[in-house]
């Protein structure tokens, strides 16, 4: 039996400088050995017109749903069966089943062998459910499927799943449920020890969320010559002992979801933990330990104004963030935010991900504090100012924030040039083309 894994693209050309999708590597690891397996990632290559396969499996996000549906329609017209998994089919199963022969809800590795077996024996079910009930063992991906493809020079690694917070805009909680679990530390360290490239990106939504597990991982990394970047909540920067452990483990940068400088917005998005944090103190402590800070901000909550965007920009520039994201708030299905906007009848297009006209960085609903158009323009201006060459030079030569050592300095310039180019390439462009 021939099986083809496909990662659908975002936009006309995918995302340049992308990392290999770990979900596909994990599925490959759990594919029966007698299966002829191939993998196509549309961010770095085209799907062959003459694809010869018995089954196609796609990992689908909301932003790639329209592309996935079009691919599925073409494959099924040729008699090729299609399986869809990932966050969008999990949260929008009825919609996905209109385009797929079957879907996998939840995590896929638990049921993938059954899907393949049933497909081989012509008894494919419409829905399979993979439960996120642990333990998270055997998740080392088969990275051989990524060989020969032009990815960014950084290796993604996953330690755990889930997040203890329930921000109303985030679908992580809706997908994984309330459980926060991590893989065995020994398994993760062994996986890393076998990697040729020791520059890592932990894809976990919050690498600081696993308590003793996080501490054990960091201590294990400190004995290995690795450099890594990850995502964390702002409270990761409040404890000097924790920050020291991050530094000793090889951490060179953290992406932190500050989200907003406004308490009202933080309350509305259910991220009250940020209200309790001293942003400046956390940033200073991290940067003094040569850990670069990238800040993520979202805009579009009620009563916000252009001033809200300017505050975030000033904060990111003043403290010389290695990078910053200034994103309009786009409600995705399955989130409390999406349900609220829908109940308030504020959507211009409630299934915006299906529209050929929807563009990256635009809003599909009516905002309250300022017009959608003004918000979109404010985010564009903030991003362009932050990514301007004058800003890059000023931030890049900050000895405390980004020039503490040569590896940080090199990464700063690589990241900023890459992000600047990618942002200008996709912002304002249709997510489907």
- Alpha carbon of residue 145 to chain centroid: 20
**Alpha carbon distance 243, 162 (integer Å):** 22
Q: What's the predicted TM-score (pTM) here?
A: 0.93
Cβ contact 334:171 at 8 Å: yes
Per-residue pLDDT tens digits for 112-147: 999 999 999 999 999 999 988 778 888 999 999 999
| H or E element, residue 294 | strand 292-299
Asked if residue 77 and residue 32 are part of one domain, the reply reads yes
Asked if residue 285 and residue 221 are part of one domain, the reply reads yes
Q: Which domain holds residue 225?
A: 153-426
**Alpha carbon distance 230, 366 (integer Å):** 33
Asked if residue 71 and residue 106 are part of one domain, the reply reads yes
**Alpha carbon distance 15, 10 (integer Å):** 7
Asked if residue 48 and residue 182 are part of one domain, the reply reads no
The 10 Å CB-count burial string (b at 16+, else e) for 66-103 is bbbbebbeebeeeebbbbbbbbbbbbbbebbeebbbbb
Half-sphere exposure of 322 (CA within 13 A, CB side): 29
Asked if residue 10 and residue 124 are part of one domain, the reply reads yes
Domain presence at residue 136:
no
Residues 6+ apart with CB under 8 A from 52: 2
Residues 6+ apart with CB under 8 A from 101: 76, 81, 82, 83, 124, 126
CA distances from residue 51 to 35, 38, 432 in whole angstroms, order as listed? 16, 10, 22
Per-residue pLDDT tens digits for 270-303: 887 888 678 999 999 999 999 999 999 999 999 8
What is the number of structural domains in the chain?
Answer: 2
Asked if residue 184 and residue 109 are part of one domain, the reply reads no
Asked if residue 293 and residue 207 are part of one domain, the reply reads yes
**Alpha carbon distance 325, 329 (integer Å):** 12
Asked if residue 114 and residue 257 are part of one domain, the reply reads no
**Alpha carbon distance 23, 363 (integer Å):** 28
Domain presence at residue 141:
no
Asked if residue 204 and residue 115 are part of one domain, the reply reads no
Domain presence at residue 125:
yes
Asked if residue 114 and residue 160 are part of one domain, the reply reads no
**Alpha carbon distance 421, 387 (integer Å):** 9
Query: Counting beta carbons within 10 angstroms of the beta carbon of residue 199, is it exposed (0 to 12), middle (13 to 18) or buried (19 or more)?
Result: middle
CA distances from residue 400 to 248, 395, 396 in whole angstroms, order as listed? 17, 10, 10
Residue pLDDT tens, the chain, 433 long: 999 999 999 877 777 678 999 999 999 999 999 999 999 999 999 999 999 999 999 999 999 999 999 999 999 999 999 999 999 999 999 999 999 999 999 999 999 999 999 999 999 999 999 988 778 888 999 999 999 999 989 999 999 998 888 889 988 877 887 788 999 999 999 999 999 999 999 999 999 999 999 999 999 999 999 999 999 999 889 899 999 999 999 999 999 999 999 999 999 998 878 886 789 999 999 999 999 999 999 999 998 999 999 999 999 999 999 999 999 999 999 999 999 999 999 999 999 999 988 888 889 999 998 899 999 999 999 999 999 999 998 998 877 777 777 788 888 888 888 888 777 777 667 777 6
The 10 Å CB-count burial string (b at 16+, else e) for 208-247 is bbbeebbbbbbebbeeeebbbbbbbbbbbbbeeebbebbb
Question: How many other C-beta atoms can be found within 10 angstroms of the C-beta atom of residue 261?
Answer: 19
Asked if residue 178 and residue 99 are part of one domain, the reply reads no
Per-residue pLDDT tens digits for 224-267: 999 999 999 998 898 999 999 999 999 999 999 999 999 999 99
Q: What is the CATH classification number for the domain harbouring 40?
A: 3.40.50.280
Asked if residue 199 and residue 99 are part of one domain, the reply reads no
Q: Which of 96, 130, 164 is the last residue of a domain?
A: 130
- Alpha carbon of residue 160 to chain centroid: 14
Domain presence at residue 143:
no
């Amino acid at each position: 039996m021939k099986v083809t894994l496909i990662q659908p693209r975002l936009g006309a050309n995918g995302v340049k400088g992308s990392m290999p999708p770990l979900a596909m590597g994990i599925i490959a690891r759990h594919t029966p050995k007698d299966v002829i397996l191939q993998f196509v990632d549309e961010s770095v290559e085209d799907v062959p017109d003459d694809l010869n396969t018995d089954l196609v499996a796609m990992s689908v996000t909301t932003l790639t749903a329209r592309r996935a549906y079009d691919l599925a329609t073409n494959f099924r017209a040729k008699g090729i069966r299609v399986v869809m998994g990932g966050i969008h089919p999990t949260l929008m199963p009825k919609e996905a089943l209109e385009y797929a022969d079957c879907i996998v809800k939840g995590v896929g590795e638990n049921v993938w062998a059954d899907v393949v077996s049933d497909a081989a024996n012509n008894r494919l079910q419409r829905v399979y459910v993979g439960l996120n009930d642990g333990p998270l063992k055997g998740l080392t991906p088969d990275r051989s499927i990524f060989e020969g493809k032009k990815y960014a020079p950084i290796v993604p690694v996953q330690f755990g799943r889930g997040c203890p917070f329930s921000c109303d805009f985030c679908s992580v909680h809706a997908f994984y449920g309330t459980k926060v679990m991590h893989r065995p530390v020994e398994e993760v360290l062994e996986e890393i020890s076998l990697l040729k490239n020791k520059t890592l990106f932990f894809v976990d939504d919050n690498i600081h969320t696993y308590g003793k597990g996080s501490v054990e991982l960091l201590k294990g990394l400190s004995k290995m010559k690795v450099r890594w970047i990850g995502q964390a909540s702002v409270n990761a920067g409040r404890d000097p002992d924790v920050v020291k452990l991050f530094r000793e483990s090889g951490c060179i940068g953290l992406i932190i979801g500050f989200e907003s400088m406004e308490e009202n917005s933080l309350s509305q998005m259910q991220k009250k933990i940020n209200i309790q944090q001293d942003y400046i103190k956390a940033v200073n402590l991290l940067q003094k330990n040569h850990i670069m800070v990238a800040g993520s901000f979202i805009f579009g909550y009620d009563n916000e104004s252009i001033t809200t965007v300017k505050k975030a920009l000033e904060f990111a520039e003043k403290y010389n963030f290695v990078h910053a994201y200034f994103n309009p708030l786009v409600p995705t299905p399955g989130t409390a935010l999406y349900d609220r906007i829908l109940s308030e009848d504020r959507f211009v297009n409630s299934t915006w991900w299906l529209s050929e006209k929807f563009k990256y960085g635009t809003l599909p609903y009516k905002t309250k504090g300022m017009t959608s158009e003004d918000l979109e323009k404010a985010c564009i201006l903030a991003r362009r100012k932050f990514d301007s060459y004058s800003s890059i030079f000023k931030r890049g030569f900050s000895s405390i924030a980004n020039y503490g050592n040569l590896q940080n300095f090199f990464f700063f310039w690589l990241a900023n040039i890459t992000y600047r180019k990618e942002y200008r390439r996709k912002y304002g462009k249709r997510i489907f083309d």
